[in-house]
Amino acid sequence: MADLRSDTVTKPTPGMREAMAGAEVGDDVYADDPSVNALEAHVAELFGHEAALFCPTGTMANQIGLQLLVAPGHELLAGSDAHVVTYEMGAAAALGGISTRTWPSWGAALDTDAIAAMIRPPGFGAVPTAAIAVEQTHNLGGGGIVPLATLHRLQELAILGGVALHCDGARIWHAHVADGVPLFTYGQLFDTLSVCLSKGLGAPVGSLVIGSRERIARARVLRKRMGGGMRQSGVLAAAGRYALDHHVKRLKQDHARARRLAEALEPFGVVEASTVRTNLVALDLTKARLDAPALVAAAREHGLRMSALLPRTARLATHLDLDDDDIDQAILVLRTLLS
């Protein structure tokens, strides 16, 4: 069965398993796991920041990053379809006491002037804005990429408005490969970032939050408070380092397969192939008057796994455990069902 539900369903490759088996480990709660320490230093250097912290999940990394920037009772601005708002179980409010206000959006298209107008400074009897969060690439936006020029403009208005910037960079590797923007360049745009090793890169688990040395020292306390202190986690860190060393450049294969999927399905009016630039294919079933959960259930009966993200939005995700035959099967199944 071809599994295109997510790029998190991958299994560790033989080389990754070998790296995990041979990992040098210590107790990371005491900050003496050498494999974890090496991974954190490497990722921080990639993005041009002083430090990073290994976390078990992307949600934890995001929420730590937000709490580093937004005090309880202050405000985060984000898109209405942002992962930190939609898919993290209200953690910003429940765990961080963070108020969120959203701009109407779909995907990676940002109106920076509209965002600038939303920033509220202290002193007006309203919740003050402390930070802005953006997503790179954008999940609900079908893996869309926020252009570098837009991010530069966003940084300018954030500086003028006296607010911080957080990047939910779970799939920032895909943007890096698709647009050729150096990771260091992305890093210099944000005060904190989260990056994921299990979405697309093939690691079994793990994300990192990135920032200044002072912020990451605070992040270690927040991680412990959230129950994220790990012991001999160098076994997992070794998988993440292997993924960074071996699985980033190959993402272009996933992008090409996603584009082939989109081109095959475009005649059915559910996707514009030109918008598919990374590994996610979002199917808008509104015009086709199809129910996403029903389509997902029917596809499964035909040997294809996919995801329903919203009542009328389904998603296909390409990844390293798929080959061209799997894509052919997915096209055949979906052409039959959409017909």
DSSP one-letter string for 239-283:
HHHHHHHHSSTTHHHHHHHHHHHHHHHGGGTS--GGG--SSEEEE
- Which among 101, 109, 50, 49 has a CA at the least distance from the CA of 80? 101
Does residue 242 sit in the same domain as residue 258?
no
**Confidence class for position 216, pLDDT limits 50, 70, 90:** very high
How confident is the model at residue 262, as a pLDDT? Answer: 98
Does residue 149 sit in the same domain as residue 20?
yes
Out of 246, 265, 288, pick the residue that ends a domain: 246
Which runs of consecutive H residues, i.e. helices, occur in 208-250?
213-225, 234-246
**How many degrees, rounded to 5, is the angle at CA 170 between CA 182 and CA 304?**
120
Put simply, whether the predicted model's pTM sits higher than 0.85 gets the answer: yes
Q: Is 317 within a domain? A: yes
Residue 106 has pLDDT above 80, yes or no: no
Q: Is 7 within a domain? A: no
Q: Is 6 within a domain? A: no
Average pLDDT of the chain, as a whole number: 96
How confident is the model at residue 123, as a pLDDT? Answer: 86
For the chain, give the percent of residues with pLDDT over 90. Answer: 96
Does residue 206 sit in the same domain as residue 296?
no
Does residue 143 sit in the same domain as residue 94?
yes
Residue 288 has pLDDT above 90, yes or no: no
**Confidence class for position 318, pLDDT limits 50, 70, 90:** very high
Q: Is 41 within a domain? A: yes
Does residue 83 sit in the same domain as residue 211?
yes
Residue 18 contacts residue 31 (beta carbons within 8 Å): no
Does residue 202 sit in the same domain as residue 326?
no
Q: 316 φ, ψ to 5°? A: -120, 135
Residue 17 has pLDDT above 90, yes or no: yes
Does residue 49 sit in the same domain as residue 176?
yes
Residue 70 has pLDDT above 90, yes or no: yes
> Two tokens at 32?
């003496």
Q: How is residue 126 annotated by DSSP?
A: S
- Which among 333, 324, 325, 320 has a CA at the least distance from the CA of 11? 320
How confident is the model at residue 125, as a pLDDT? Answer: 86
Out of 196, 222, 246, pick the residue that ends a domain: 246
CATH number at residue 60: 3.40.640.10
Q: Is 4 within a domain? A: no
Domain count within the chain:
2
User: Which tens digit of pLDDT belongs to each residue from 238-277?
Assistant: 999 999 999 999 999 999 999 999 999 999 999 999 999 9
> Two tokens at 242?
């292997």
Out of 230, 246, 262, pick the residue that ends a domain: 246
Which residue range is the domain that position 292 belongs to? Answer: 250-338
- Cα gap 223→225, rounded to integer Å: 5
Least confident of 61-65, 178-182, 216-220, 285-289: 285-289
Does residue 196 sit in the same domain as residue 261?
no
User: Which tens digit of pLDDT belongs to each residue from 111-131?
Assistant: 999 999 999 998 888 999 999
How confident is the model at residue 124, as a pLDDT? Answer: 82
User: Which tens digit of pLDDT belongs to each residue from 146-205?
Assistant: 999 999 999 999 999 999 999 999 999 999 999 999 999 999 999 999 999 999 999 999
The amino acid sitting at 179 is: D
The Cα-based distances of 97 to 85, 132, 219 in angstroms read 13, 16, 16
**Cis link prior to 137 (omega < 30° from 0)?**
yes
For the chain, give the percent of residues with pLDDT over 70. Answer: 100
CATH number at residue 316: 3.90.1150.10
Does residue 138 sit in the same domain as residue 210?
yes
